[in-house]
Amino acid sequence: MYSPSYNRVEDRAEPVRFMRANNFCLLVTGTGGELAGSHLPCLVEEREDKLVLVMHMARSNPQWQSFYDDEEALVVFWGPHAYVSPRWYEETERVPTWNYAAVHAYGTVRVLDDAGTRRAVERLVAAHDPQWQPAFERLPAEYVSDMLANIVAFEIAVTRLETRWKLSQNRGRREQELIAAQLEKSNDSAERALAELTLGHLAPK
């Protein structure tokens, strides 16, 4: 991902928080041949010093059949984004742009066995619907096994992260503040979230 140095986030903790907050992502595989992409929920786990993405897809989705241990996969996470109007600047010689935040995570895929698949689903339920977790655990074993047979769960051990927090840092602190002020007025919660993110990454005075 193209990302100038002033748009990168070097501290891993912030991208990890971002990935967890925006964990419906795009998995892209087949970099050595025909590309395939799927939109999937993702658990972002830290295991000692390693970052692991836990995902699953329908067994009928042919993408999983193209997973190779030695081939890199790409998982794209994105958050708030918005059009930025030249009307918001003090300088008149400006053009429109689009601000956003995104993380690209790269790694290799490992398909999980039946026990690993069940644990992956249990963790996903615990993360997103803990109130239903006891009901899930009471479901008949045969029913759960039949349901789990219809999915393929897998893990991606992340080998590198690329970040781009494109928040007009190159325009300077004053223009960032003006942009954030306009975004804060929006009825769109994503645009207000982008305003908050911008204010958290202001260029130095």
| Alpha carbons 11 and 9: distance in angstroms, whole number | 6
Check residue 130 and give its pLDDT: 93
Helix, strand, coil % in the chain, rounded to nearest 5: 35, 35, 30
| Alpha carbons 183 and 180: distance in angstroms, whole number | 5
Q: Where are the beta strands (DSSP E) in the chain?
A: 24-29, 36-47, 50-58, 72-84, 97-111, 151-166
Give the residue-averaged pLDDT of 158-178. Answer: 95
Give Cα separations from 168 to 19, 26, 125, 175, 191 (angstroms).
21, 25, 38, 8, 14
Check residue 7 and give its pLDDT: 95
Give the residue-averaged pLDDT of 22-41. Answer: 90
Check residue 37 and give its pLDDT: 96
107: confidence class by pLDDT, cuts 50, 70, 90: very high
Please determine, for residue 32, whether its predicted confidence score (pLDDT) is greater than 90.
no
Check residue 30 and give its pLDDT: 87
| Alpha carbons 55 and 109: distance in angstroms, whole number | 10
Q: What is the pTM of this model?
A: 0.93
Please determine, for residue 124, whether its predicted confidence score (pLDDT) is greater than 90.
yes
Residue 62: what are its φ and ψ, rounded to 5°? Answer: -70, -10
Check residue 31 and give its pLDDT: 64
Q: Mean pLDDT of all residues in the chain? A: 94
Check residue 68 and give its pLDDT: 76
Contact 80, 191 (CB under 8 A): yes
Check residue 142 and give its pLDDT: 94
Identify the structural domains of the chain with CATH numbers, from first to last: 5-171 (2.30.110.10)
Check residue 168 and give its pLDDT: 95
The string over 146-182, giving b where at least 16 C-beta atoms fall within 10 Å of a residue's C-beta and e elsewhere, is eebeebbbbbbebeebbbbbbbbbebeeebbebbbeb
